[in-house]
């Protein structure tokens, strides 16, 4: 098989922003008091799968946005970072607001393009490589999307995306017309921050608001993950599905 040529620009994406500031109430069960990023999944904290997937693809710098009960969360994050990785903690005192506010808190901590991930999504590390390879234009946002709609575990909870020839037309959980779903994995250009700032209403904005603003400029694209698998972990049922996926596909994703 011939060696795949890479765009040198793609290989410079060596940092990831991970959003971990929220409360994650839907996942908590009974008297259990795990913070969501540290929720045990097959004996390991949930966020460790995210970090190791990126580390296995050569991403060494982890900018993690914290907020809710950060003093309890931070020790677990430090333990979850792969050996040789660099952890930069970013405080978001406004953690009760939307996730766009959390991303904005990282503005002064990143330079150039960066990966963006949720702390509660597990995915095969091959998705990172596929997204990086497809993110060809430096001034565009790229979202890893799943077109395998029949395989989405909880479509009601999924963020839907309508596309046209690889460009994002609209993104929202309540879309009635869509062709792919958001996997929570992005390559972001620095312009995402000005788009989020412009989208602010009463001091709040969502990540989807920023994506829509870039889409209006023709600067938001998608990369299909193909046959790769992933799972959002928001509820106990989703946690069970994630455990099944790990058993089948992801046990040694980053080994």
pLDDT in tens, 35-50: 999 999 999 999 999 9
Report helix, strand or coil for 10.
Answer: helix
In angstroms, the CA 198 to CA 192 distance is 10
Please give the pLDDT value at position 67: 98
Looking up tokens 């922003």, which residue turns up?
Answer: 17
Which segment of 4-8, 70-74, 106-110, 208-212 scores lowest on mean pLDDT? 4-8
Band of pLDDT at residue 128, cut at 50, 70 and 90: very high
The one-character DSSP state at 81 is S
Work out the angle between the directed axes of helices 126-134 and 46-55 (0-180°, nearest 10).
Answer: 50
Mean pLDDT of the chain: 91
pLDDT in tens, 152-180: 999 999 999 999 999 999 999 999 999 99
Q: Which tokens go with 207?
A: 């990540």
pLDDT in tens, 91-124: 999 999 999 999 999 999 999 999 999 999 999 9
Cβ–Cβ under 8 Å, residues 160 and 171: yes
Please give the pLDDT value at position 253: 45
- Domains of the chain plus CATH, in order, are 12-248 (3.90.550.10)
In angstroms, the CA 59 to CA 50 distance is 11
pLDDT in tens, 179-195: 999 999 999 999 999 99
**Helix (H), strand (E) at residue 70:** helix 70-80
């Amino acid at each position: 098989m011939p060696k795949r040529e890479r765009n040198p620009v793609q290989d410079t994406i060596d940092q990831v922003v991970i959003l971990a500031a929220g409360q994650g109430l839907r996942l908590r069960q009974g008297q259990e008091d795990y913070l969501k990023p540290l929720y045990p999944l097959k004996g390991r904290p949930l966020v460790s799968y995210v970090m190791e997937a990126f580390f296995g693809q050569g991403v060494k710098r982890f900018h993690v946005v914290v907020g809710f009960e950060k003093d309890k969360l931070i020790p677990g994050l430090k333990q979850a970072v792969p050996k040789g990785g660099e952890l930069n903690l970013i405080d978001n005192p406004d953690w009760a607001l939307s996730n766009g506010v959390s991303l904005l808190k990282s503005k002064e901590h990143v330079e150039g393009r960066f990966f963006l991930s949720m702390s509660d999504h597990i995915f095969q590390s091959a998705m990172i490589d596929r997204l990086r390879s497809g993110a060809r234009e430096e001034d565009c946002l790229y979202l890893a999307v799943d077109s395998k709609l029949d395989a989405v575990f909880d479509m009601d909870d999924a963020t839907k995306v309508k596309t046209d020839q690889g460009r994002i037309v609209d993104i929202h959980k309540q879309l009635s017309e869509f062709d792919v779903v958001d996997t929570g994995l992005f390559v972001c250009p620095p312009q995402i921050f000005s788009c989020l700032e412009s989208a602010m209403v009463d001091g709040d904005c969502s990540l989807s608001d920023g994506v829509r603003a870039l889409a209006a400029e023709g600067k938001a694209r998608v990369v299909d993950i193909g046959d790769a698998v992933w799972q959002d972990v928001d509820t106990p049922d989703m946690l069970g599905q994630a455990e099944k996926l790990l058993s089948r596909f992801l046990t040694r994703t980053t080994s």
